[in-house]
Amino acid sequence: MATIGQWLEGARLRTLPLAVAPVLIGTGAAFGAIGGFTGLVIGSPHSSSGPEQSLAGLFGRAFLALLVSLFLQIGSNYANDYSDGIRGTDDVRVGPLRLTASGLVPPRAVKNAAFTCFGIAGLAGILLIVVAQAWWFVPVGFAAVLAAWFYTGGKRPYGYMAMGELFVFVFFGLVATLGTTYALIGRLTPAAVAGAIGIGLLSCAVLMVNNLRDIPTDTQAGKTTLAVLLGDRRARFAYAGLVFAPYVLLLVPILTGEAAAVLAALSLVLAIAPLQTVLGGSTGTALIPCIKSTSLAALVYAALLALGIAL
């Protein structure tokens, strides 16, 4: 029987910053659009909801959006553990504990854990839909659950066909960020769009370095990730591009009147060490710290960008 600690390890908590980051940016963009905290108190000429929109109401919606994002991520992690485990993909991998492949937990229990998390995300999503009166979120939420499951699940998982980064960009970049902003204020802004693209690219960078580490074992297991398709050298350059591009995108909020967005550039300091490691040619377990470091850089980028565009 797995311990609570092993279940938590199986949930891959190091990936959760990527679930928090888009909600931070989406919330920051919403506050910026209504004139920040001042706009809530005295109203703002840029606000579509007027001064009657309460601070508690906005944070309540943001909290629901956060629950959706977090439990979709955890559910996706358990689903990935289950699907890769029963396929045997994780039998030769290098990295943290996998519940199914290790034999600590019956595959069905891991699968049930995944769908329990999807259920919690669904309940939070329904509440958010009711509060925000955004009924078109229903098919989007359903698509997000399907994307989480079929990343490595089903007969033709798209994660095995070099499309993992595409779906991560769409759902943990565009959908999570822009969905949060829309749920809060009923519209989108240039800062929200730029932030959504930026955090989506950083999320892809985390997946890229993870898959770069696994190129030998994924190739052996017949799993074609984008890193496998690109090859070792080009995957390393792709990682660097994915890390640097979000900082170029900061020009969008800066040039549209939210100059404090430049604060997010400070997070580049955290990306230097993993960039050096990846571009320096490190392999195997030496790349594991880069996953955590890139996730942390993405979270700090999101927090500073959210603060900058909310001011």
Q: Which of 20, 48, 75 is nearest to 189 (CA)?
A: 48
Query: Which residue from 238, 267, 246, 255 is spatially nearest to 194, judged by alpha carbons?
Result: 246
What SS3 class is residue 224?
Answer: strand
Q: What pLDDT is stored for residue 100 in this prediction? A: 87
Tell me, yes or no, whether 1 lies in a domain. no
Residue 2 lies in a domain: no
| pLDDT of amino acid 50 | 41
* The two structure tokens encoding residue 255: 């040039």
Query: Looking at the domain assignment, is residue 82 inside a domain?
Result: yes
Please report, in tens digits, the pLDDT of each residue of the chain (311 residues total): 778 888 888 888 888 999 999 999 999 999 999 876 555 544 444 444 443 457 788 899 999 999 999 999 999 999 999 998 888 776 565 567 788 888 888 999 999 999 999 999 999 999 999 999 888 899 999 999 999 999 988 888 998 899 999 999 999 999 999 999 999 999 999 999 999 999 999 999 999 999 999 999 889 888 899 999 999 999 999 999 999 999 999 999 999 989 999 999 999 999 999 999 999 999 999 999 999 999 999 999 999 999 999 98
Q: Quote the pLDDT of residue 49.
A: 45
Looking at residue 220, its pLDDT comes to 87
**300 inside domain:** yes
Residue 136 counted as domain residue: yes
pLDDT tens string 86-133: 887 765 655 677 888 888 889 999 999 999 999 999 999 999 999 998
**What confidence score (pLDDT) does residue 155 get?**
87
pLDDT reported for residue 95: 62
> Between the CA atoms of 90, 114, 11 and 91, what dihedral angle is there, to the nearest 10 degrees?
-10
Which structure tokens are listed for 77? 């992690």
Which amino acid does the sequence have at 186?
G
In the prediction, which pLDDT does 44 show? 44
pLDDT tens digits, 41-82: 444 444 444 434 577 888 999 999 999 999 999 999 999 999
Q: Are 154 and 189 contacting, i.e. CB atoms less than 8 angstroms apart?
A: no
Q: In whole angstroms, give the CA distance from residue 56 to residue 16.
A: 24
Place of tokens 């937990």: 105
Name the residue range of residue 306's domain: 7-310
Answer whether residue 86 is part of any domain. yes
The reply to whether 164 falls in a domain is yes
Query: Which of 80, 86, 90 lies closest to 117 in space, CA to CA?
Result: 80
* pLDDT at residue 52 in the model: 40
Cβ neighbours for 5, distance < 8 A, ≥ 6 positions apart: none
The pLDDT of residue 4: 86
Report the number of distinct structural domains present in the chain.
1
